[in-house]
Every structure is written in structure tokens, then in C-alpha cells.
A = this chain, B = another copy of it.
């Protein structure tokens, strides 16, 4: 993730950060510009009759009619992607809260001299965050709901689920403390919310990771943008002449950017520039657990 000062406009407008779509789309924008130039050239010089052809001149009617639909769709796309990204952030925020609350309670409930149990949770609570991060970044997790075989991934679906094991260890330990009467039944109930939410967070993250928006939408939006941009030069070549080249390039930049940013943030658990800083969050958890239980 990139920390930034949103009020610094000059930097935003004139710097081209590697995370930005303008930089990544640049080659494609050139291709589109060349395509528009080619169509424009043909229409203006080789098919001069098009200039007075009302039908071709009126093609942009379609583009403004569909302009609403495509704008609304792109914003729908942006909204759902952002919601997924923000839900992912909330889940990791819940993991932070959870880890800290569990540590505070454990520290308070345990007998003063039970250093072993304290050490146990001191190690395992942050461990869960690190293991969850590793789990979410593996291809196994992303493809967990795929029905196709994946011979290219060794041990696909065969290796054990590490976060389950870490959470199990913590629940087992707490139950053991209860059986040993180091904590009472009331305290067990009080600890339960935190203990079970580890796996709830894990499951919710897996859901975001392994279920992108339905294939049909993704395919439809991309085809729609493609057809839309490809047909733009025919009408604009007449009304805008060679000016249609930068105009179409700019329209393409806007639409493709929205789709590309959405693609990137709809799976917030990866290593893209805008993805969630899971490593940093896990380090912070470790630091705070250390302050509490250390």
C-alpha cells in the first residue's frame, strides 16, 4: 500500500507513480491512438464520400446513448471492487482488534506466574496474522473453489490448512487452562468471542480471495469497452477530424483505468501496489502483543 498526502495535487498531477494506470496503460493508449489515426486517415483521404454521409456522421448518437450505461456500469464495477477492498481492510482491522483484546484478556486472566501460557499466546497470536497472510497470498487459496485440476501447482489441495492449525492450538490451550481451573467458566465465555473470530476472519478473507465478481460481468464489461472504443473513430473522424486521436485516447484512458483499478483492488490480498499492507499489519500486531504480554 502507498501512504500519501491526498492534498498534494501537484505531485498527483505531474508524477507518474508506478502504481498508476496511466503508466501501465501507456502502450495500449498508443495502440488505440494509432488505430484511431488509421481509421481517421482512411475516412478523410480514401473514402471522402463518408464526409457527407449523414449515417456515419450520426454514429456518435449511439455512443452518447450508451454513454450512460457504460458510465454507470464502470461505477458499479468501481463500487463493488472498492467494497471488497474495504471489507478486506475491515477484516484485517478486526484481526488487529481481536489479537489485542485477546492478549489483554489473557494477560489479565492468567495467574501472575504462568509465564509459559503467556509466552504461548505471545508467540501464537501474531503468528496467526503472518500465517493468514501467507495463506491468502498462495495460489492454492485463490483457486480453492476451482473445479478444474491444477497440475501446475504442486500439492494442490493436499497440504494442510495452516491458519486452522494455529487457531486450533489457541482454542485447545484456552480449553486446557479452563480444565486446569486456571481460568473460570465465566472467563472462558468472555474469551470465546475473540477465539472464534480468528477463523471467521480467515474464512471471510478466503471468500474475497477465491470468489471474484461473476465471470459474466467481467467478460461483458471488457467486451463492452472494447466494442465501444473500437467504433468511436468512425463517427468522430468526421466531426473531430485528426483531433479524434487524442480525444479517443483520452476516453480510452478513462474507461480502461476504471476497469484496471477495479481489477487490481477487487482482490486486496496480493502484491499489487494498492493491495492491503498485510505484512505491515502483522508486524504491528506483533509489536502490540509484545507490549501487552512481553
Contacts and interface: CB of A to CB of B under 8 A. Distances in A.
Nearest to A82: B80
B6 A164 contact: no
26 contacts: A1-B211, A3-B142, A9-B222, A12-B223, A20-B219, A55-B241, A58-B240, A58-B243, A61-B240, A63-B65, A66-B250, A72-B74, A82-B213, A93-B203, A96-B207, A97-B199, A97-B200, A100-B203, A104-B164, A104-B199, A107-B172, A108-B171, A146-B280, A147-B280, A189-B189, A216-B274
A7 interface: yes
A224 interface: yes
A163 to B, nearest CB: 10
B74 A75 contact: no
Given A13-B222, A64-B64, A171-B105, A20 B216 contact: yes
Contacts of A226: 13
Which of A9, A187, A216, A222 has its CB near the most chain B CB atoms (within 10 A)? A216
A68 B68 contact: yes
B263 A7 contact: yes
A131 to B, nearest CB: 15
A227 B22 CA distance: 12
Interface string A99-119: 011001101110000000000
A134 interface: no
Contacts of A172: 107-108
B214 A261 contact: yes
A284 to B, nearest CB: 6
Which of A12, A145, A214 has its CB near the most chain B CB atoms (within 10 A)? A214
A21 B107 contact: no
A120 interface: no
Nearest to A109: B175
A48 interface: no
A177 to B, nearest CB: 11
